[in-house]
Amino acid sequence: MSHPSLQASSEPLPSLPPCGALELDGDAVVWRIWAPTPSSVELVLYDGDEPRYVPMQREDRGYYSHIEEGVPEGQRYAYRLDGGNIYPDPCSRWQPDGPHRASAVVRTSRFRFSDADWQGIEKRDLVIYELHVGTFTREGTFAAVIPRLKELADLGITAIELMPIGQFPGNRNWGYDGVHPFAPQNSYGGPAGLAQLVDACHRHGLAILLDVVYNHCGPEGNYLARYAPYFTDRYTTPWGAAINFDGPGSDCVRQIVLDNVRMWLADYHFDGLRLDAVHTIYDFSARHILADIEQVARQESRRQGRPLHVIAESDLNDPRLLWPVERGGYDLSAQWSDDFHHAVHAHLTGERHSYYLDFGTAEQVCQSLVEPFLYRGQYSRFRDCRHGAPPVGLAGDRFVCCLQNHDQIGNRPGGERLTRLLAPPQLRLAASLLLLSPYLPLIFMGEEYGEEASFPFFCSFTDADLVESIRRGRQADFAFHGATGTAPDPLAEETFACARLSWSWPAGSIRAGLRQLYADLLTARRTWPALQNFDRPQAALLPLDGSGPVVELVRQASSTQQTLRAFFNLSGEPADIGQHVDEAWRLALSSESSSYLGQRRHSDPPSRLYPHECLVFHATGRNEAPKLV
């Protein structure tokens, strides 16, 4: 059976000419720029000691172009506007010397991929590993990621997700301050290094997703407004001017974004995109830009014959992102759902500041295992209004959930991971909640072994006024959200250095035990039929005498009779579940097994739950699940 996205049909999107330095036959290149703001545009070619200025041909709707033969790879170029200032290409595919300097020609068709037989990863099989290239290794490059891919694949990861890599100022940045959305970061290894990483992922059987930012651009090195109305003053975002998706000139802005989508999926062979903060993508057109992005991805999916995924980050609890077009939706592959994280985090840590004000009860942890949105139109104290809508008709594999991600860690003043906030049994319990849930799991780099290094916000801007504004703004953000503590200086190199992974789990350590639990739970997700059914399971808080709370989760296979029952002790006290399990149920997994450096021993009765323990049982005699305990 072909992938559903391969069967979708849609009208072709209207097309405007692509921008950038685009390869033609042989060594010819066409330079095209959308620049209705200046009166004239010249191409500046850096061939030798002196730059060469070439008048560009004016085209309809504010485009300019020029074709040149015999252009070498790496040719440096820029644009001069109205005979005055010179700026890099906003649609540059390569910024070898950073965002302020000349752009360079790169021919993506000359990348050498060996993944012709790559079939991709189906959405239901995604186990996403979010990583930041600069801190994932000491080298901080695309190439340095490659030696670690085998261990991720062996762990059970099926897809890595790169935090944004569009060219940003300096060498240290989360990536959300990019100003050249088509150009892979030079300090990471540029276009060639990125292509090699994608190809290596596919060799290891891993999909690779890219976090892209279509809601704003960074503040330093942002020259887009010099060329055209890329931005609008009708809306604002927390990070800067909003992108112009529905005002005068927006057709061309939309086309550039869709060309960007197509480039990552076609030229670089990415398996999907994570769209940053779509709730700040403002578009009141009759057809939303998100629907167009999904359509481009489906066109590429059909052309390439493999599944491609578009996953939205949103805090609106809005099912329209996922509903089909005929129902008024955008039909994206999946969306992030924060409520699971908030419920588990607030309950286990006891924190109640900011959005955690709406969470923290055991009932919410229980409900989060069957409802991706806990707020489906109910009143939110944090927001002081009703929030969300019911995700009617949407299966669990349309939602990405996590225990930690770059925001949930990095937006704390100290950038503390859960490892610094919870005891080992609680970490194991949290991992069990995530990986036994009916959602697509996202694991933040290092989480699988209990990395203790913080992940604070960091950047390396050079503008002095901007630097001071960033420092004040971060502290104001923490104060607004009710978090306490002083954040490290985001501009300091040691703030960046402290975020590097140790990538260490010595044998016999708590870290090794936690990593083994992740591996076993991921094996279970892959091999136990009951965990491959993403329809809503059943969950309930158990009535227990004098102990608890304990949540029971029931997952049942759709194609076999296999039924799994997971019991999560959400308290710091032991609990007895003897009245709920008998000899018909066999213990398959314990998060407190000695294999994971937990308290449970083989002589312990399976009806006794240790504090913060998860026990998984399967019915005997019915397509038995592998016994991991």
Q: Hey, what are 2's tokens?
A: 């072909």
Q: How are beta strands 550-556 and 563-569 bridged, if at all? A: antiparallel
> 10 Å Cβ neighbour count for 30?
16
Catalytic residue of the set 276, 351, 448, 592: 276
- Which residues, at least 6 apart from 24, have a Cβ–Cβ distance to it below 8 Å? 30, 67
Instruction: Report whether 273 contacts 209 (CB < 8 A).
Output: yes
Rounded to the nearest 5°, which phi and psi values hold at 108? Answer: -65, -20
- Identify whether 276 is a catalytic site residue: yes
> What kind and span of H or E run contains 120?
none
> 10 Å Cβ neighbour count for 185?
27
Closest CA to 354 of 402, 315, 388, 318: 315
CA dist., res. 530 & res. 231, Å (int): 48
The letter for the amino acid at 165 is I
SS (HEC) of 54-70: EECEECHHHEEEEEECC
Q: How are beta strands 608-609 and 575-576 bridged, if at all? A: antiparallel
Distance of CA 411 to the CA centre of its chain: 16
- Which residues, at least 6 apart from 117, have a Cβ–Cβ distance to it below 8 Å? none
String of DSSP letters for 156-212: T--EEEEPP-EE-SSS-B-STT-SEEEEE-GGGTHHHHHHHHHHHHHHTT-EEEEEE
Rounded to the nearest 5°, which phi and psi values hold at 73? Answer: -60, 135
- Residue 480, judged by CB atoms within 10 A of its CB (0-12, 13-18, 19+), counts as exposed
CA dist., res. 121 & res. 344, Å (int): 28
CA dist., res. 31 & res. 65, Å (int): 5
The letter for the amino acid at 554 is V
Catalytic residue of the set 313, 331, 397, 613: 313
Number of helices and strands in the chain (H, E): 15, 30
SS (HEC) of 171-186: CCECCCCCCEEEEECH
What secondary structure letter does DSSP report for 626? P
The letter for the amino acid at 116 is A
- Identify whether 552 is a catalytic site residue: no
Closest CA to 97 of 186, 26, 19: 186
What secondary structure letter does DSSP report for 147? G
Q: Known catalytic residues?
A: 276, 313
